[in-house]
Amino acid sequence: MLTRLIILGLLAAAAIYGWNVWRGPKLLRVPLVWSSMSRRHTDLAEALRLRKAIGLLLIQAKDARAERILKEVDLVIRSLVQLAKVRDSRGVSSDGDTTSAAALEELEALYSQLTVESNEQTQDRLDTIRERLAERTVELKASVDVRKEINDS
């Protein structure tokens, strides 16, 4: 009986772990309401696409600001969801309006800024690696020259 409980516990833990892996990183998860409304509203779909892109940039860069930035993005998306709900209740077109367009422009600007920062950080890392390689190459050449002198004598 105890073995069955242990096996059942392990299966439940494996199922929960598998579910969380399938859902992806916590920073990239969005509420089901947002994803369902994004199917009907193009501006909300674009905002969620930008949120995912911003989240991926922040995760790849291991940025400490990731949670804070995504909370701000989520506030913008939450307001877009509220606008979409109002449009639905009033029977207005789901194409978007000037408010949602302005919010999308802000998200685009944030994404562009983060992309530039990420590219600069990547360039700095590459420069550091190139400098180390150059130093190691000089050391290796000096070591080879010393060995040649030893072998020649």
Give me the percent of the chain exceeding a pLDDT of 90.
12
> Using N-to-C axis directions, what is the helix angle for 42-61 and 98-152, rounded to 10°?
20
Check: CB of residue 50 under 8 Å from CB of residue 111. Answer: yes
Measured CA distances, 111 to 79, 108, 134 (Å): 18, 5, 34
Instruction: Measure the CA–CA gap between 33 and 40, rounded to whole angstroms.
Output: 11
Give yes or no for residue 95 having a pLDDT over 90: no
The model's pLDDT over 35-91, given as tens digits with 9 standing for 90+, comes to: 888 888 888 889 999 999 988 888 887 767 778 888 888 899 998 888 888 888 887
Instruction: Name the residue ranges covered by the structural domains of the chain.
Output: 1-28, 31-146
pTM (2 d.p.): 0.70
State which amino acid sits at residue 41: H
Q: What is the mean pLDDT of residues 117-134?
A: 82
Predicted pLDDT of residue 96: 67
As a whole number of angstroms, the distance between CA 107 and CA 52 comes to: 11
